[in-house]
Each structure stands twice: as C-alpha cells, then as structure tokens.
C-alpha cells in the first residue's frame, strides 16, 4: 500500500514536470512570434529622446501579466531553498512575465513611435499559508511617444546598426 502512494506521488511529479515544460515551451514560442511583430518598435530605458523630431504627444503606457509557476517547479524550488543558490525555475517564470508584460504594453500602444523610460514592477502572489510564490505579476510601464507626421522619424533600431 505504501508503494502505491510513493508511485502515485512520483507519477504526479513527473506529470507536473512534463505538463509544465510543454506549457512553458508553447508560451515562449508565442512570445517569440509576437516579439517579431514589434521588433522595429523601440522600447528603451533612457529618460530622454536624443533625436531632433517634433513630439506630437506622449502618454503613460502600461502592460501587465500574471504568470503562475507549475507544481513541479514549486516542488523543485522548495528543495533548492534547503540547499541555497539560484532558483532557476523562478528565473524562467520572471523572464516570461517580463517579456509578456512588455509585449502587452506594445500591443496596447502599437501606433506609438517610441517607448522611453521603460520600467518593470514585480510583485509576488502567495499561494496559501506557507508564503511560497504561486504567481508573479509584472507591470511594464513607459512613456509612449508619437512624432508629428510631417517630421521624418527614421529612428535607428538595433537592426539598423
């Protein structure tokens, strides 16, 4: 009877690993595909505009994402906390959340010419009494800039260099 419980526990851990890996890979694939659509829309952390184009308007741009960690990664992270070191399962969680939030910001303001002063705010959402991370919310915010239509605004992108 004890072996059944052990095998059931191991089976559920392996199932969590496989399902979590598949979901994460699919999400990364969708992110890369959407990023290609916005590759020419610059988003920089600089606070100032260095070109000489006339700004038509500016507005606060926001994008947020909440990404949850799967059960296997939560289990692996709790083991890693015993021994110390970087918790890689949460690193991919934060990377996906940041990229998704930035993409959502760009999608919400797709007609902007430039995003300056890009910042990220991260908050964790606890999953119960043990205060382990269940989900992460990332808020991406920046100043969206629109140039006057009659000014030529050929902004150099990383691909032009």
For the chain, the domains span 2-147
Name 97's Cβ contacts closer than 8 Å, sequence gap at least 6.
65, 66, 67, 122, 136, 137, 138
**Closest by alpha carbon to 136, among 78, 92, 77?**
92
Quote the mean pLDDT of the chain: 83
What per-residue confidence (pLDDT) applies to 160? 45
Taking residues 74-92, report their average pLDDT.
Answer: 76
**What are φ and ψ of residue 4, in 5° steps?**
-65, -40
Weakest-pLDDT range from 34-38, 54-58, 63-67, 129-133: 129-133
Is the Cβ–Cβ distance between 67 and 102 less than 8 Å? no
Report the C-alpha gap between 25 and 43 in whole angstroms. Answer: 25
Domain 2-147, CATH number (from 3.90.1150.10, 3.40.190.290, 3.30.9.10, 3.30.110.70): 3.30.110.70
Weakest-pLDDT range from 16-25, 36-45, 58-67, 91-100: 16-25
**Residue 9 Cα to chain centre, angstroms:** 31
Tokens of 71: 């059960």
């Amino acid at each position: 009877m004890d072996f059944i419980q052990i095998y059931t526990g191991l089976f559920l851990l392996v199932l969590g690993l496989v399902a979590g890996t598949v979901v994460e890979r699919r999400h990364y694939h969708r992110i890369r595909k959407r990023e290609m659509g916005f590759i020419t829309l610059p988003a920089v952390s600089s606070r100032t505009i260095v070109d000489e184009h006339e700004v038509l308007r500016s507005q606060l741009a926001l994008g947020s994402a909440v990404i949850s960690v799967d059960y296997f990664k939560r289990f692996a992270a709790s083991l890693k906390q015993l021994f110390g070191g970087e918790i890689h399962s949460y690193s991919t969680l934060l990377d996906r959340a940041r990229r998704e939030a930035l993409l959502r910001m760009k999608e919400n303001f797709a007609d902007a010419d430039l995003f300056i002063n890009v910042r990220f705010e991260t908050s964790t959402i606890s999953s119960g009494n043990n205060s382990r991370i269940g989900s992460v919310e990332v808020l991406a915010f920046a100043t969206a800039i629109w140039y006057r239509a009659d000014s030529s605004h050929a902004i150099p992108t990383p691909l032009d260099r």
